[in-house]
Structure 1
Amino acid sequence: MPMRLPKHAGLAGPMVLLETPEHDHLAYVEGQLTSVLHDDPDDVSVLQQKYGMLRSQALSVENSARLLDDLLGES
């Protein structure tokens, strides 16, 4: 994520989006003292939208590499 971005769609914690061989969509969310496997299409849709927001907010591959180089002092 860009360093200048104060908030982003992933601040609520990690999630794993899954698709079964039968094309069912699931989402696994883990937090302190809890973990949930969501199979309700409405819940999964909300998490898929958050993932889409994360992708749109994320740095490009090139900018990510540049940021890592800067942080390591290699540029």
Structure 2
Amino acid sequence: MTCEDHSALEGPFIPLTPKGRQQLASLEVQSTNRLITDAEEVRIPAARYGSIRGQALSPHESLALIEELPGER
């Protein structure tokens, strides 16, 4: 299994959906944090999060990959 690229190459982020409030996003870039509150700006990391979830391995595939690693299991 290989993955050459993924949707979070620009750095880590955290999608936030407070109960009863609009979605937010927290970005972490070179030790600087930024909280995005503008709905239009939040759409970009929200879409990336959806892409990342779509690219993720299933639990079964994850276990198979881990078991292939040297020294595992």
**Normalized against structure 1, the TM-score is what?**
0.84
Deviations 1:13-56 (A, max 9, x none): 11111112332211001021421000011111111100111111
Corresponding residue of 1:19: 17
What is the CA–CA distance in structure 2 between the aligned matches of 1:27 and 1:5, rounded to whole Å? 25
Q: Where does the alignment leave 5 or more consecutive residues of structure 1 unmatched? A: none
How far 1:5 moved relative to its partner? 1.7
Structure of higher RCO (CA pairs closer than 8 Å, 6+ residues apart): 1
Letter paired with 1:18: L
Q: CA RMSD in A?
A: 1.6
Equivalent residue number for residue 66 of structure 2: 68
Letter in 1 for 2:30: Q
Mapped partners of 2:31, 2:60: distance in 1: 37
1:34 to 32, 35, 39: 32
Distance change in 2, residues 1:74/1:21 (3 Å): closer
- Count of residue correspondences: 73
Deviation at 1:72, TM superposition (A): 4.2
Give the share of equivalent positions with the same residue, in percent.
Answer: 36
